[in-house]
Structure 1
Amino acid sequence: MTSHGTSGPGPAGGTGRPSGYGAADGPASGALTRALAETSLRAVESVGGYAGGVYLRSETPGLLRLAILVGLPGPLFRPWWRMHANRPFPVAEVHRSGQAVYLDDVDDAMRRFPQLVASLPFPFASLYAPVVAGRERFGVLVALRAPRRGEGVSARDRGRMASAAVRLGETLASLTAHGPRAEWNGDPICVQLSSGSAPPVRFGSFDWDLDSGTVTMDGGLREILGAGVTSPCSIEVLTSRLDAEDAYALWAAALQATGEDGRPTVRRVRLKGPDGGLHLLEVSATARRDTPDKDGGPPRTSGRLAGTLVDLGTGLVGSDATDRLPRAILAIDRLGRITYLNERTERLLGRPRGALAGRPLWEALPWFGLPFHEEQLRAALLSDEPVRFLARPERGRWLTVSLHPGRDGVTMVLVPEEDPAGLAPDAAPDRPGRAHGPDGPDGAGRAEDPVHAGDDDLEGEGDRAAALYRPVALAIALSEAVTARQVSAVVTEELLPAFGGRQLAIYLLSDRRLYLAWETGFPQGFLEPFDGVTLDSRVPGVETLTTGRPLFFESMDQLRLEYPGLPLDAHTGARAFLPLIASGRPVGSCILGFDRPRTFSPDERTVLTALAGLIAQALSRAQRYDTESAVARGLQDALLPHQLPVLAGVETVGRYLPGTEGMDVGGDWYDVIETGHDRLALVIGDVQGHGVAAAATMGQLRSAVRAFALGGQRPQDVMRGTNRLLIDLDPGQFASCCYVLLDPGTGEARAVRAGHPQPLLLRPDGTTRLVELAGGVVLGVDDRASYPVTRLRLDQGDVLALFTDGLVERPGTDIDEGIERLRQALASTGSMALSDAADRLIREARQATARPDDIALLLAARWPEAR
């Protein structure tokens, strides 16, 4: 619901550029963005992480958005930019509960959050801390790092995360106190981590008097050369700190710098310093003259040389070393931008360095934007283990790609492959998330000529090899499924294609029996003998649930040997039986069937086991939903009036339409009350939220309004009393309401409004207008609120329309536009019967496939008594 008639601060969210690299526009680009970025960087570095960020609340209730992403490329993680607070992910749980979550490794994550492992099946540890200030919840601080075997998350690291989150919460509370709400409504801002602990770059300089051989050095050079070096000193003292070959190189550079033709030049040479590190020396002549030799020899060169020595650290910098390697090498930073490529990469890709350097990998090499290759890059960025896979940049051309991750980025090695079928055994993947070569993980044989077979495009080839990528889509889709039927449909659409399956059956546990809830692909009637089997039956669907262990059979022959006498179909393919267990509670079992025999790799068994837990959680949630939905519908049916009172001279009609999101029931209500003294109270209201809680609150408010109205209280006192009751019943809950007390005989009416949309009035001549009622704040906010009374008159033939905001609100449009549409629709009803007019007003809303809010409508017409 939306509050109307009151004013308040608007949303503060800023949006980043779609690529995820740019700075945000709008309010979020200032102090908010800086605070989020600084805290994220500090937290990630303090716990030894390589990535992290902050999820922040948005203008959409219950929706968190990724505001800052540190150390990872934003476009590669687009599916995780949004997080609903009711999803079974650690970020959502931390925001809901206000309690931190620490996951030591992938096993810990799989036990507690199988959906996380299914969507990101890589070995990493993660830390989540709530960003709060008092009772206000802003979002969640996240840090990712490599698992530390046997250590877990130490108390010190937990304290560092908690302290960072607390400081951020205090900062956001301060920003909110002096400006708009701290929200994020756009794309995330990507922030680069600082480089690792490489030795610092140091500089030193010297001045060399060629006549005297005296060298004057600054402090930087003396520090590089080490203790015991003083300045000035002789050139011999300087060269004594170098290897002999480097000392001669220094002399040669000096002579070359002075130049035989009299023109000064600059010479550079690499030297090994006293610490073994690599130094770059640059010398240049500052003056030169040739003087005769006293003994009659050739003229002697004299003058001065200036020198600069740069300590580059212990590693090679520059392209000359990697240009000599017989491999194409390319490097990216942790935001996915190309930072280096050698000459062989230029030749292999047919692109110059200048056209590739600095660009995101998937823009420079479009084939890296395919889902399967994106998954490999995610694997490298989220783990510290190398990843190797086969890629086809273009038809008829193959590459073996090796990714070697590190804290500051990923180094890639590209090796052309003439015959993919002849790959060495060590080219096969050996960890979750990797490809299984051009075969795909279902073990299907290659085409005779996988390079030239058919005209299938690159993405089709990637799909064949991406069975361990597709569970990402399953994980995300399951988070949106609400009913058990929706969960089963998602599993059918995502899980079966991901693993090449053809048959699926889902059994749910009830009264110690397994009942068939969903099946597809099996022969008609084949599964009937297994419907309703008890938990002591020796069938694989029961045993996988009672033991908690998945069962994999590579062929039907294996299944027959293990379960002799079991009625089986004529297929020869493999079977997988998965236990559906959510939070230690058995839910049911899932059966996957394949047309042909096949093996199940360790990777696939791991992922399928994690997905089984994910499916179980979704089904358990769906069962709770079905139960709560039935309760909520029962409450709502019992509380909404089934018949409106009839008084001479007044006709009333009500309509209620549930939303299509959530539990399809909510807190909208309408009522018509005979208050005595021939008065009629017209009531419409809207409680925040959906589900059992909203329906229950609606019932309490409806009862309160009826009680106050039947007690003969004035409209303003009815509203005041209801407001105080809501505050006492449920602090933090709020509702809007409009109450009109009508005298049917005279048409005189007194109305009060608490943050509710203004009603509309239709005249007999077809004109319509908005009725301006004085308004107070919504119910449940201020126990001292007052509600002014507006007096109006309904003439004979007038129709008053009261409605909730679900009827006029549309995503992305102003509510005034919706009210105008409703006004025009009301004008078009003309002389229609009142019930027909009500149906016309909600017809458009009834036909909408997506209706985020409930709708309540109440029409009251004043007719001549003789009508």
Structure 2
Amino acid sequence: MPMASPMAHPDCVRARADSVGAATDAVVQALARAAVSAVEAVGGYAGGVYLRSRSGELLLLALFTGLPLPLFRPWWRMQVNRPFPVAEAYRSGQAVHLPDAASAMSRFPQLVAGLPFPFASLYEPVAAGPERFGVLLVLRPPTPGVPVGAGDRKRLREAAEELARELSALAAAGVPVEWEGDPVSVPAEAPEAGASGARGAVERLTQAVLSLDRQGRIGFVNSAAEHLVGVGAGHLHGRLLWEALPWLGHPSHDDHFRAVFMSSEPVHFSARRGRHPPGAWLSVGLYPASDGVTVTIGTADPPAYAPASPADPATGLGSPADQASALYRPVALAIALTEADTARQVSAVVTEELLPAFGGRQLAIYLLDQRHLHLAWETGFPQGFLNRFDGVALDVRLPGVETLTTGRPLFFESMQRLAAAYPGIPLDADVGARAFLPLIASGRPVGSCILGFDAPRGFSPEERTVLTALAGLIAQALARARRYDSEAALAHGLQAALLPHRLPVREHVDTVGRYLPGSAGMDVGGDWYDVVETGSGRLALVIGDVQGHGVAAAATMGQLRSAVRAFALAGSTPEQVVRGTNRLLIDLDPGQFASCCYVVLDPASGSALAVRAGHPQPLLRHPDGRTEVLDLAGGVVLGVDPEASYPVTELRLEPGAVLALYTDGLVERPGVDIDEGVERLRLALASALPVPLTETADRLIGSTADRPDDIALLLASLTNGRERATPEA
């Protein structure tokens, strides 16, 4: 079993100036310390940290050590809902340990499909209470059939907890801890210089010999290298191998390098030094060690096949290596399509994976509805050019229509051929090529897809076959996405059904509630509000937010709402209501969290008792318009500590005052401090007219069109005989 590689000192960070982006040096140093210590603690050879993005929908690789970053670019960005271990650890809040390839294949086959090498991987969520920052990961040699030991689990967990504490402190100090941009590379320590005798032996070889560190940077270079690779040692030393020798960066070689950096077996392959014009053939040997990789390069005879690029006209898919390279992105497209939920996500996946695979520059997707094709997605075309084709009927003679009605793909090697086949058709360019693909799922027409190319090109039989097959996968994904989109309305309707449809009507007090689902995806959320008439003549005002989204969060929300209502109707004190609900949540769903604010109001006197469990502070607008953020004492969120206590704060509302309870979706925006959102809401409430209360509620939520999270709002106002609002939910 190979030894763990030596790690860099955690304060030694190499990064391009534009890689750090929104992160500060303090965040980078904290990540470096965590990654390096975790790798050393569990005997790994590489590791890193994923952090959540500002949008919250992506996990971005923020820092990595022990492996060359360029080789792992496909894994720099990860959707939080993808079936990969890092996303699973983030979503669930539970560690994921994969000691060997068999365990990885059984749980995460897509990970193994992209990295089919023998390695172990450990993923530990970085969280502080309900706040989840990201995931700490370590790669190490596999232990087939032997699970990760308790000691290693504990050490990795301790490293993640220490990182969470550091990030919490930075966030509290106002330092952004979300990540944007490319990852930062922490280099491994450079190996000690070899003995002079060994160096002399290497210099006598006719082969080129280069040493790489764990990041892929060139260290030692022998004198034969200049003749064989055509580059002097001064140009090579200290540079990334694939930057110094671009011909080794061909996609068909990436798997060879990934294999040697992630496993202990040598790798041998042939490569061509330069492609335009074609250069000499060379044999490449890769020999891994704990501190890097030795590369040998020697002369070689030309192989029996002639490699070619799939983007070149009429050349086919070329050599077996080129075929693997050409099919990598289509395979990645097929995998990614299985994870896309909405039609927009499907279109984005096609743009990111299909166009680069075939050298395309333009993409348009039309969907069939009521025997007309409607433009659903476009990129690369002149602005407004495709509008003229939006909504065309199926009896119009256009290639995008005919490819669907006939079920045959149409390929035009030049714009002249397209114009000759369809006289009078508007063209967006004088040169280029076009492919029109029918989108048919299970025999049912879905739409059509147009691929555009900047220059004339041929389409080999292999390419036509692959594109036609991929069009079928795209159609299946779009058909599923359209069902998903239609089910989204049903899911949000379910969420709305769990909320009160009408609030109680009481003398001296108006109450108004509002709920808006998140604008991203179909997942229902866990925000709720309620107004309960207690047996003592008082009103209980309740608002809460269950962590996460989806049916499980909504179900938990329904249970908590019922529990709060039952405790309130039983005459429990505010502190008893929240404590009882906290214990119930721990019993129902360990690991699930929820925030809550509970206020019992006497409408006759205006006196109130308030309890807060990790929830945003309410706002109070006084009759004179002065609006303040209340300072309610609070306890931890529900679901964490069964013995938690929740202090009670006494309030008094004057006639004409407005109390505003809300969830964080109303005040949180990506990349903006939540305090700014609270201040924005306070100013909006201060400038709103006190009556009618319904208009105030609509004003407060009116500027939240782009809201990734759910929003709940509950307003209560003492009327004292003034104009009343119509009670509504």
CA separation of 1:682 and 1:316: change in aligned 2, threshold 3 A? same
Residue number in structure 2 paired with 1:864:
720
Is this contact kept in 2: 1:23–1:189, CA < 8 A? no
Q: Distance in 2 between matches of 1:39 and 1:667?
A: 38
Please report how far the alpha carbon of residue 600 of structure 1 lies from its aligned counterpart in structure 2 after TM superposition. Answer: 4.9
Is this contact kept in 1: 2:399–2:410, CA < 8 A? no
1:18 aligns with 2:42: no
- Matched to 1:18, the amino acid is A
Please report how far the alpha carbon of residue 348 of structure 1 lies from its aligned counterpart in structure 2 after TM superposition. Answer: 10
Gaps in structure 2 of 5+ consecutive residues = 1-9, 129-133, 168-176, 260-266, 369-373, 379-388, 390-397, 413-432, 724-729
1:456-507 deviation per Cα after TM superposition (whole angstroms, max 9, x unaligned): xxxxxxx9x9855755884796587322553255336642563368999999
Is this contact kept in 1: 2:545–2:663, CA < 8 A? yes
Q: Distance in 1 between matches of 2:189 and 2:482?
A: 44
> Match for 1:691 among 550, 554, 565?
550
Q: In structure 2, the residue corresponding to 1:660 is in which secondary structure?
A: coil
1:142 aligns with 2:139: yes
Residue number in structure 1 paired with 2:526:
667
1:730 aligns with 2:594: no
Please report how far the alpha carbon of residue 768 of structure 1 lies from its aligned counterpart in structure 2 after TM superposition. Answer: 0.9
Is this contact kept in 1: 2:597–2:610, CA < 8 A? yes
Gaps in structure 1 of 5+ consecutive residues = 1-12, 45-51, 145-155, 203-309, 416-422, 430-434, 446-462, 509-515, 531-538, 541-551, 556-571
1:431-471 deviation per Cα after TM superposition (whole angstroms, max 9, x unaligned): xxxx62872687499xxxxxxxxxxxxxxxxx9x9855755
Residue number in structure 2 paired with 1:36:
38
Alignment of 1:634-713 (within 5 A): 634-713=493-572
Q: Distance in 1 between matches of 2:191 and 2:467?
A: 34
Please report how far the alpha carbon of residue 762 of structure 1 lies from its aligned counterpart in structure 2 after TM superposition. Answer: 1.0
Q: Distance in 2 between matches of 1:174 and 1:594?
A: 50
1:170 aligns with 2:170: no
Residue number in structure 1 paired with 2:263:
none
Alignment of 1:186-205 (within 5 A): 187=183, 189-190=185-186, 192=188
Is this contact kept in 2: 1:53–1:67, CA < 8 A? no
Please report how far the alpha carbon of residue 169 of structure 1 lies from its aligned counterpart in structure 2 after TM superposition. Answer: 1.6
- Matched to 2:660, the amino acid is A
Please report how far the alpha carbon of residue 699 of structure 1 lies from its aligned counterpart in structure 2 after TM superposition. Answer: 0.9
Residue number in structure 1 paired with 2:6:
none
1:358 aligns with 2:238: yes
729-738 or 647-656: which moved more?
Answer: 647-656
CA separation of 1:824 and 1:348: change in aligned 2, threshold 3 A? farther
CA separation of 1:405 and 1:853: change in aligned 2, threshold 3 A? farther
- Matched to 2:717, the amino acid is A
What's the TM-score, normalizing by structure 2?
A: 0.67
Is this contact kept in 2: 1:639–1:699, CA < 8 A? yes
Q: Distance in 2 between matches of 1:805 and 1:27?
A: 28
CA separation of 1:625 and 1:55: change in aligned 2, threshold 3 A? farther
Residue number in structure 2 paired with 1:312:
198
Please report how far the alpha carbon of residue 786 of structure 1 lies from its aligned counterpart in structure 2 after TM superposition. Answer: 2.7
Q: Distance in 2 between matches of 1:505 and 1:65?
A: 28
Q: Distance in 1 between matches of 2:58 and 2:359?
A: 34
> Match for 1:336 among 216, 219, 223?
216
Please report how far the alpha carbon of residue 759 of structure 1 lies from its aligned counterpart in structure 2 after TM superposition. Answer: 0.5
1:81 aligns with 2:76: yes
CA separation of 1:789 and 1:364: change in aligned 2, threshold 3 A? same
Please report how far the alpha carbon of residue 138 of structure 1 lies from its aligned counterpart in structure 2 after TM superposition. Answer: 6.9
- Matched to 1:388, the amino acid is A
Residue number in structure 1 paired with 2:98:
100
Please report how far the alpha carbon of residue 75 of structure 1 lies from its aligned counterpart in structure 2 after TM superposition. Answer: 4.0
- Matched to 1:26, the amino acid is Q
Residue number in structure 2 paired with 1:248:
none
Q: Distance in 2 between matches of 1:686 and 1:79?
A: 35
Is this contact kept in 1: 2:316–2:462, CA < 8 A? no
Q: In structure 1, the residue corresponding to 2:650 is in which secondary structure?
A: strand
Q: In structure 1, the residue corresponding to 2:548 is in which secondary structure?
A: strand
Residue number in structure 1 paired with 2:109:
113
Q: In structure 1, the residue corresponding to 2:676 is in which secondary structure?
A: helix
CA separation of 1:577 and 1:94: change in aligned 2, threshold 3 A? farther
Alignment of 1:358-757 (within 5 A): 358-361=238-241, 364=244, 373=249, 375-376=251-252, 378-383=254-259, 384-388=267-271, 391=274, 404-406=284-286, 407=288, 408-411=293-296, 426=304, 428-429=306-307, 436=309, 439=312, 443=316, 470-471=329-330, 474=333, 478=337, 481-484=340-343, 486-488=345-347, 490-491=349-350, 494-495=353-354, 498-499=357-358, 523=399, 526=402, 598-600=459-461, 629=488, 632-757=491-616
Please report how far the alpha carbon of residue 783 of structure 1 lies from its aligned counterpart in structure 2 after TM superposition. Answer: 2.3
What's the TM-score, normalizing by structure 1?
A: 0.58
Is this contact kept in 1: 2:105–2:112, CA < 8 A? yes
- Matched to 1:633, the amino acid is H
CA separation of 1:696 and 1:54: change in aligned 2, threshold 3 A? same
Please report how far the alpha carbon of residue 830 of structure 1 lies from its aligned counterpart in structure 2 after TM superposition. Answer: 3.9
Q: Distance in 2 between matches of 1:600 and 1:39?
A: 53
Q: Distance in 2 between matches of 1:828 and 1:765?
A: 11
1:124-178 deviation per Cα after TM superposition (whole angstroms, max 9, x unaligned): 4233344579x9997554358xxxxxxxxxxx84156x34x65432213455678
CA separation of 1:381 and 1:616: change in aligned 2, threshold 3 A? farther
CA separation of 1:713 and 1:374: change in aligned 2, threshold 3 A? farther
Residue number in structure 2 paired with 1:852:
708
Q: In structure 2, the residue corresponding to 1:844 is in which secondary structure?
A: coil
CA separation of 1:62 and 1:822: change in aligned 2, threshold 3 A? closer
Count the aligned residue pairs. 623
Q: In structure 2, the residue corresponding to 1:642 is in which secondary structure?
A: coil
1:589-647 deviation per Cα after TM superposition (whole angstroms, max 9, x unaligned): 99999999844559x989998x7999799779858966985664243121112222222
CA separation of 1:647 and 1:412: change in aligned 2, threshold 3 A? farther
Q: In structure 2, the residue corresponding to 1:812 is in which secondary structure?
A: coil
Q: In structure 2, the residue corresponding to 1:339 is in which secondary structure?
A: strand
Is this contact kept in 2: 1:428–1:437, CA < 8 A? no
Is this contact kept in 2: 1:658–1:854, CA < 8 A? yes
Q: Distance in 2 between matches of 1:129 and 1:580?
A: 37
Please report how far the alpha carbon of residue 815 of structure 1 lies from its aligned counterpart in structure 2 after TM superposition. Answer: 2.2
- Matched to 1:316, the amino acid is A
Please report how far the alpha carbon of residue 575 of structure 1 lies from its aligned counterpart in structure 2 after TM superposition. Answer: 10
Identity of aligned residues (%): 47
Is this contact kept in 1: 2:530–2:542, CA < 8 A? yes
1:195-219 deviation per Cα after TM superposition (whole angstroms, max 9, x unaligned): 89xxx977xxxxxxxxxxxxxxxxx
Q: Distance in 2 between matches of 1:172 and 1:802?
A: 40
- Matched to 2:687, the amino acid is S
- Matched to 2:198, the amino acid is L
CA separation of 1:67 and 1:158: change in aligned 2, threshold 3 A? farther
Q: Distance in 2 between matches of 1:413 and 1:631?
A: 64
- Matched to 2:144, the amino acid is R
- Matched to 1:36, the amino acid is A
Q: Distance in 2 between matches of 1:18 and 1:473?
A: 28
Q: Distance in 1 between matches of 2:477 and 2:30?
A: 38
Q: Distance in 2 between matches of 1:348 and 1:654?
A: 75
Q: CA RMSD in A?
A: 5.7
CA separation of 1:90 and 1:780: change in aligned 2, threshold 3 A? closer
